[in-house]
Homo-oligomer: A and B are copies of this chain.
């Protein structure tokens, strides 16, 4: 492509609304344009990146034997009602009525629609396994769309669904997709990690997230440098150091006026935070529960929700707390809690404490010397602490580390959650009706473009991996009026095109400074500069975007040099 015939429009200033590196650079380099909050146009350069991502995904999915389909964006409410997700999804789902007043969702995901397809077309074990996928626009009405296309309201996903006759085969399909995802993200050139993940609204029994590693990532990964354990912090298990738990042997009620935080409480009593236990009150599916953990640690609400199998979980309000416990917020504790009809869950860390300081269920009072079994009885011991760097690996026991990541893929083992709800069955070898065993597998196609930037940039702009660069090579004739130079540049442009190298020539009549700046900003992997001085010596300059130094090469050798550079 010639630059003068392209719609490329870079910005000189940093766009004000941009909150992250990739958001800023995508706007500045003219890859995307905001249409409405969380809704974007892909401009030609940005869309080329997405198409390259799509191609890689499609090739690898097809190689894995998956078959591509397309399901509609408008999906009828009746299907969502079969699984109960029409009400479960809430405001995050865009909903439309047609002219006959029928309800549709703008598909945020397609489990219901694909299960409906398969229950219609697959009726024998002979037709299994099936892995079906689509690359389609998806919709989520996020409360706070942000970071450009990273968390948009309209975006492109590759979503795949596997159907098997039993668990054993379903696990094979899951593994096949897991391996395919590794291939896809490797081909793109990502530094990434597959981590254990929570299953969230999709459900199912196990799942893994593929995380692109980047300091700017929204997600926290806990991993073990010693073994292969890695998990999203939302899901991470692990052992924490046994500390403290010595708050005297005798139960004593202590007046603690104006004490608000765990630290203040520990100081006041000349104890350590790990000698205290905090009790938090939640509303779980409508009823109040109390959860205790060691005073120096934070709770992981996702682990809590899963541990107690709650559909809806939220902190109790001040009003609810006063009504139920007669004490204001901040003084909840386990002693005499049962009498108030509140179920008590305690974390492993609390189970290990000898004695502890707890809230007194009365304004400005705490108990010290509280002993489990003697002074309170829990309903259940669970694991709800947020795991962090320095805790111990649940697999090998060594110390855990942390890093930041961006989720670009997610694989779920679903089991029969959807097939059972939708009565999706086939006949097995013995002629018996069975429900399909399913998996589902998502990749955030447009998000990959943003994640690639978060992982690859410098102060001048984007540094695209060759695999998904909008153009692989940019040719810059420094001075358009220097005929020998531009002739060579155009000849090189044609030669590269012939070799199927994706090349753009910057044939604008602007200063070299502008050309260099734009080329760095957009981030083409290889830049070839044809300047008068070098060219008179039979030479041109080749620079890899990811390297600091340019190289001056014989003009006859430039194509070899480019091919070498593209191989990475």
Which residues in A have some Cβ–Cβ distance to B below 8 Å?
A: 1, 4-7, 9, 30, 33, 35-36, 39-44, 47-48, 50-51, 65, 67-76, 91, 94-96, 98-99, 102, 104, 106, 113, 116-118, 120-122, 126-127, 130, 132, 137, 139, 141, 143, 153-154
Q: Are B154 and A117 in contact (CB under 8 A)?
A: no
Most chain B CB neighbours (cut-off 10 Å) among A1, A6, A35, A116: A35
| Contact flag A69-B41 (CB < 8 Å), given A33-B121, A74-B139, A132-B7 | yes
A308 to chain B, nearest CB (A): 29
Q: Are A106 and B113 in contact (CB under 8 A)?
A: no
CA distance in complex: A42, B136 (Å): 12
Most chain B CB neighbours (cut-off 10 Å) among A1, A41, A95: A41
Q: Are B7 and A72 in contact (CB under 8 A)?
A: no
* Of B39, B42, B50, the contact of A74 (CB 8 Å cutoff): B39
Most chain B CB neighbours (cut-off 10 Å) among A47, A98, A116: A98
A109 to chain B, nearest CB (A): 15
A118 to chain B, nearest CB (A): 8
* Of B72, B91, B118, the contact of A99 (CB 8 Å cutoff): B91
CA distance in complex: A187, B41 (Å): 30
Q: Are B113 and A35 in contact (CB under 8 A)?
A: yes
CA distance in complex: A35, B76 (Å): 8
CA distance in complex: A141, B100 (Å): 10
* Of B51, B68, B106, B139, the contact of A68 (CB 8 Å cutoff): B51
Copies of this chain in its oligomeric complex:
2
CA distance in complex: A117, B43 (Å): 9
A526 to chain B, nearest CB (A): 22
> A154: which B residues are within 8 A, CB to CB?
72-74
* Closest partner residue, chain B, to A77 (CB atom): B36
Apart from A30-B121, A39-B76, A44-B68, list 15 A-B contacts with CB within 8 A. Answer: A7-B132, A33-B120, A35-B76, A41-B70, A42-B69, A44-B132, A47-B70, A50-B70, A51-B68, A73-B137, A73-B154, A91-B99, A95-B96, A96-B96, A98-B153
> A99: which B residues are within 8 A, CB to CB?
91, 141, 143
> A39: which B residues are within 8 A, CB to CB?
72, 74, 76
> A69: which B residues are within 8 A, CB to CB?
7, 41-44, 47
20 contacts between A and B (CB under 8 A): A7-B67, A7-B127, A33-B117, A35-B71, A35-B76, A36-B74, A36-B76, A41-B70, A42-B71, A43-B69, A47-B68, A50-B70, A73-B73, A74-B139, A74-B153, A74-B154, A91-B99, A96-B96, A98-B153, A106-B106
CA distance in complex: A33, B118 (Å): 11
A140 to chain B, nearest CB (A): 11
CA distance in complex: A522, B28 (Å): 49
CA distance in complex: A65, B106 (Å): 34
CA distance in complex: A116, B41 (Å): 10
A438 to chain B, nearest CB (A): 15
A11 to chain B, nearest CB (A): 10
A557 to chain B, nearest CB (A): 30
A447 to chain B, nearest CB (A): 15
